[in-house]
Structure 1
Amino acid sequence: MKIIRAKDYTEMSRKAANIISAQVIMKPNCVLGLATGGTPLGTYAQLIEWYRKGDLDFAEVTTVNLDEYRGISKENPQSYWYFMHQNFFNHINIQPAHVHLPDGANLDAQAVCEGYDSVIHELGGIDLQLLGLGRDGHIGFNEPNVAFELGTHCVELTESTIEANKRFFESKEDVPREAYTMGIKSIMQARKILMVVNGADKADIVKKAFFGPVTPEVPASILQMHPDFILVLDQEAAAQI
């Protein structure tokens, strides 16, 4: 595990974007695993800026996202498909056919999950997986006590995750209760994993996840076992380590 400290969110985002851009430059046809949520937005903004300057080319890049709400179509403004296009894909030269997310509109969970695992396998696996960190230690939608050996699966979201995500919806009642997510097994098979964490409210879980025991009660703790895991965090998130 490599830990990179940054003074603030802006510097954290730039350092993470540096790692992703290096991956794209070294392997133009790489497979990037991407994440949604507020934390990666600064990283995406930095990558867009470098693309516009001509420093990056995403024409050959393929992406696979961690997760998608179940029961939501691509066109829904609350879908992760919509989020990723609004905040990243629409601003770079990635080919539409190279963008992959679980199909939230398809309610056949087995078909969606098996199909998504097949996509990742056919792509040759993920070169670099970007992650955020939930306040309870979840990664993707892998909530506490999920089995480490799971591939893509359908999950019922915990109350704390619903609470954290309600800011993106008109009301808490509008937040979907289920989601499709890459499993811990899928994430751990990525050749490189990059996690971005910011804010004082994440300091406690950072300590538990990366300086405590490896346990399904803290899903992110398994990342301690990955051979090429990079944690980039700001001063506030690093306060207890």
Structure 2
Amino acid sequence: MKSFPNLKSIVLALSILACYACNQQTEKAETEAIPPKAEANPDTIALTSENIKEVLTAYGQKHPDSIAVITTRHGSIKVRLFKDTPLHRANFVRLAKSGFYDQGEFYRVVKGFAIQGGDSDNRTMKQTAYKIPQEIKREYIHKKGALAMARYGDDRNPDKASSSHNFYIVQGEPVPLYELRTWEEKHGIKYSPAELKLYQNLGGEPSLDTEYTVFGEVIEGLDVVDKIAEEQVGASSWPVKIVPHTIKVQ
């Protein structure tokens, strides 16, 4: 004779089914509640030696800015950032947009050579330690007004990678032809007639060519560069009266 489950068995079975359905719904709800994995934001992700090319390339594509204004108590310097040095351009724009450069100053001034900025003893904003892969272009010489990144020397930095944030603007002086010929031989390059004319008339610092990444140039405010270069300096060429700067991109 066919047996039938008693009432207690039926209630237990229904309870088990109800719990199973409840668990299934909970798992589904939990699964649906998990947001899709967000892509790394190049505006905020910390830079490292492993991710720097990827992050700065993505940032540069998102922020194609190529004009920046450096403002000081002596006036403003407008610079054009070169698009064919994309990592340096993106890094400079990124630091400017984050406000990092607004806490910097021209902390090294060598009249007839260059003014160097970006750092400051008064900075509160911090960043990770990294270097920018060099993007040295033969066509970008260190004429007066050239914007370039500082770096450690070849003994500890044979790849000529740039500083993460310290930049300089060349002041320089007119360079005689015989000296330019010497630098041509030393660096294994040949200046064009136009470059020779620039160095002889406008001035610059050919000793730095092929050694540092030039990634921009002054298009307005060379007189401000000259004024900063006139600052009285103390030890390590640090201005006696600090020259803070802010940097905005346009």
Same fold (TM over 0.5): no
TM (norm. structure 1) is: 0.24
Provide the TM-score with structure 2 as the length reference: 0.24
